[in-house]
Amino acid sequence: MRLSTRTKYIAYIAILHLVLILLVYKLLFENKALFIASEVFLLLSAGASVVLYNNFMQPIQFVKSGIEAIKDKDFSIKFVPTGKGEVDVLIEVYNMMIDQLREERIKLNEQHFFLEKLIEASPISIIILDYDDRIESLNSKGKSQLEQDNNALIGKKLTETDLSLLTELAGILDGESRMVKTNGITTFKAQRSHFMDRGFRRSFLMIEELTNEILESEKNAYGKVIRMMAHEVNNTLGATDSILQTTTHLLPDADYGDIKDALHIASERNQQLTRFMRNFADVVRLPSPMPERTDMGALVRDVAVFMQNAASVRNVKVMSESQENVFWMVDKGQMEQVLINVIKNAVEACESGQEVHISATSSRVVIRNNGKPIDQEVSSKLFNPFFSTKRDGQGIGLTLTREILGNHGFDFALETGPGGWTEFRIEK
């Protein structure tokens, strides 16, 4: 059994005084005066030992009390000076240390509270991972952007979330940033970084949606180019066609029949080029929508009937199924153009015997087809301005569709699901 210093000291003093008492008794018992004086001295020595013991133990008691307070994380306890020099020095040092610890703790708590508020109020999604790269927490923006509640993602790795955005970000390295496009239109910029927590490295992801900024930048860029091209081409074609028409009328039919036919063909080509440029210009000149209360079920049924004739040429069925009294606030003419463009593309993706289904509810419109699926590589480019997979396509249909739906404030996506059906979804 290991004895404490306190026990050793008490044992030492007790043994020492017992030995002295025995020696005094043996040596001075015959001399009563010296014996009594020696006994009194020994009693005074024992009392002095007790006083010294208390003086020595007082700093230890202060230290012990201070250690207990620090263990309990209570930095409010301070000691009052006793008037004893050595003890007061210790008390002064302890009180200074406690003041500094309390200030540091308050500062850290304030910084931690501020950081939590900053993360929560951030307009950028922030996902914090634990030491094993599992999701530990995410802020409000992250929950709304990923459309997931906190419990659905906590404890999962990025590859286990079944979210395409997070799955693509699973391989991103610390300090790396990446642009990710989902459903062909929504664009995110993601960056991964790290911080030190209790000496260990932990990572976090910052995800910012750039869709609106990119779309606006693209529109400004191609709008300027199209307006410049349309101005130059139309001016040239107008003058050229005027010369061609005048020349055609001046030349006699008998002698210049072949030349007049060539001039007529050239004039038709001019008109086709004019129509071509007008299609591009329509995207730039698209007017702001004039929303009105529109029965989307009836609109979907009417467009399905209208497109059935064109689909029947390819032996493709166009079927609609909608709820009753489904009313949206939309520009009816523009929304009709969107449905025609999307259904036309769906029909062209189908082969003989395949189908296109259209449905409308109070919150979404879905156009589905079981035709050729969309390749993963093509999916990310579908809504790029004037991108087309068709040999002679201009890519105007989806560009115009993107502009109309964006101006309405609707979310939309085009992708092929696991079952092989390709869906174009429009959501309020």
| DSSP per residue, 13-52 | HHHHHHHHHHHHHHHHSS-HHHHHHHHHHHHHHHHHHHHH
- Cα 298 from Cα 325, distance rounded (Å): 9
- Residue 357's pLDDT is 93
Greatest alpha-carbon pair distance for the chain in Å reads 172
Identify the pLDDT of residue 283. Answer: 62
Name the nearest CA neighbour of 331 among 412, 414, 403, 424.
Answer: 403
Q: Cα–Cα distance between 177 and 386 in angstroms, integer?
A: 27
Burial annotation 151-160 (CB, 10 A radius, 16+ → b, else e): eebeeeebee
What is the percentage of the chain residues whose pLDDT exceeds 70? 82
> Among 177, 281, 289, which residue's Cα sits nearest to residue 237?
281
Q: What is the pLDDT of residue 44?
A: 84
Coil, strand or helix at 210: coil
Residues facing residue 149 across a β-bridge: none
pLDDT of residue 367: 94
- pLDDT, residue 393, reads 59
* Confidence label for 293 from pLDDT (cuts 50, 70 and 90): very high
**Does 394 score more than 80 pLDDT?**
no
* CB distance 186 to 383 below 8 Å: no
pLDDT at 386: 63
Strand partners, 294: 328
In this structure, are residues 318 and 288 in contact, taking their beta carbons and an 8 Å threshold?
no
The DSSP secondary-structure symbol of 288 reads P
- CA angle 34–38–41, rounded 5-degree value: 140
384 has a pLDDT exceeding 80: no
**For 306-356, what is each residue's pLDDT tens digit?**
888 888 888 999 998 887 788 999 999 889 989 988 999 899 889 999 999
Residue type at position 332: K
Q: Are 297 and 325 in contact (CB under 8 A)?
A: yes
Going by pLDDT thresholds of 50, 70 and 90, the confidence category of residue 277 is low
Q: Tell me what pLDDT residue 105 has.
A: 83
**What percent of the chain is modeled with pLDDT above 90?**
10
For the chain, the straight-line distance linking the first and the last C-alpha, in angstroms and rounded, comes to 79
Residue 177 has pLDDT above 80, yes or no: yes
**CB contact at 8 A, 151 and 158:** no
CA distance 117 to 211: 26
The string of pLDDT tens digits covering residues 73-120 is: 777 777 777 776 766 777 788 788 888 888 888 888 888 888 888 888
What is each CA distance from 142 to 117, 129, 179, 194, 264, in whole angstroms?
Answer: 14, 13, 17, 18, 62
Average pLDDT taken over every residue of the chain: 80
Virtual CA dihedral for 66, 72, 73, 77, nearest 10 degrees?
A: -40
Asked which of 185-189, 268-272, 350-354 is least confident by mean pLDDT, the reply is 268-272
Confidence of residue 226 (pLDDT cuts 50, 70, 90): low
What share of residues in the chain are helix, strand, coil (percent, to 5)?
Answer: 55, 20, 25
257-284 and 211-250 helices, crossing angle to 10°: 160
**Which H or E element spans position 344?**
helix 332-348
Q: State the pairing for strand pair 317-322/355-360.
A: parallel
